[in-house]
């Protein structure tokens, strides 16, 4: 397997400074900067940048900006999904975001995983490639359709958030969340299921006439 293939496969050690990966990240960071320098009204310019940075997206995807991606090309985002300010994605591994997903400000999705032992984690000189590098591996992230990821949530690699779930502000998601759940905290835990009782039609007090 190539180092790229190992990176995208997940759970395999790879060299993140080989096979042009550093150059790919630099390109993505440049495109993010260009996007972040646009105004909300520059729709055509934003679409042009996103077509190169994050081509795997559906209709009606909107990224408020600023945005920060390591690759961009490893992220897919379904129709009608939205991300607020400071959306940060370390997409060394694959990040699959479904349809109609709401993402609040300052959300981080991080697929890259570094070894726990510093002897394995620290940078070293690779005599084969002639560059300083380190070793890491990835784990994918999946956010299924119709989820709401509230402000300042961190989603760690290897996590799947089930359809229709809501993740409370400030949570750190380290394990899978089942569908239609309200989950909060650090580490994030399921508080309760989302039920018919949560429908706005059952809360007339919220509608002021």
State the Cα–Cα distance between residues 27 and 119, nearest whole angstrom. 30
Name which of 46, 48, 45 is nearest 67 in CA terms. Answer: 46
- Which of 29, 114, 180, 203 is labelled catalytic? 114
Residue 128: its pLDDT value, please? 83
For the full predicted model, state whether its pTM sits above 0.85.
Answer: yes
Name the residue range of residue 56's domain: 3-206
Whether the predicted pLDDT of 209 surpasses 90: no
Query: Peptide bond preceding 187: is omega within 30 degrees of 0, i.e. cis?
Result: yes
Q: Is 203 a catalytic residue?
A: no
The answer to whether 9 and 1 are in contact (CB under 8 A) is yes
| Distance separating alpha carbons of residues 190 and 193, to the nearest angstrom | 8
**Residue % of the chain over a pLDDT of 90:** 95
Give the pLDDT confidence score for residue 139 in this predicted structure: 98
Question: 31-45: per-residue pLDDT in tens?
Answer: 999 999 999 999 999
The Cα angle at residue 101 between residues 100 and 106, in degrees rounded to 5: 145
Residue 130 has pLDDT above 90, yes or no: no
Could you give the CA distance from residue 91 to residue 112 in angstroms, rounded to a whole number? 7
Write the CATH number for 97: 2.160.10.10
154 pLDDT tier (thresholds 50, 70, 90): very high
Average pLDDT over residues 155-176: 98
- How many domains in the chain? 1
Residue whose tokens read 């934003």: 46
């Amino acid at each position: 397997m190539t180092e790229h293939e190992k990176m995208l496969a997940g759970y395999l050690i790879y060299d993140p400074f080989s096979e042009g990966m550093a150059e790919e990240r630099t390109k993505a960071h440049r495109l993010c900067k260009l996007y972040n320098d646009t105004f909300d009204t520059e729709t055509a310019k934003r679409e042009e940048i996103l077509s190169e940075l994050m081509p795997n997206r559906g209709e009606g995807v909107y990224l408020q900006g600023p945005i920060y991606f390591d690759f961009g090309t490893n992220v897919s985002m379904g129709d009608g999904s939205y991300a607020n300010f400071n959306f940060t994605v370390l997409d060394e591994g694959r990040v699959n975001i479904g349809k109609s997903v709401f993402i609040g400000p300052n959300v981080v999705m991080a697929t890259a995983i570094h070894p726990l032992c510093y002897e394995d984690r620290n940078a070293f000189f690779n005599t084969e490639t002639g560059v300083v590098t380190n070793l890491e591996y990835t784990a994918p992230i999946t956010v299924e359709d119709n989820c709401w990821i509230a402000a300042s949530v961190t989603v760690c690699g290897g996590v799947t958030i089930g359809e229709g779930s809501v993740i409370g502000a400030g949570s750190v998601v380290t394990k899978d969340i089942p569908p239609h759940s309200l989950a909060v905290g650090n580490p994030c835990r399921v508080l309760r299921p989302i039920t018919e009782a949560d429908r706005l039609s059952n809360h007339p007090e919220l509608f002021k006439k």
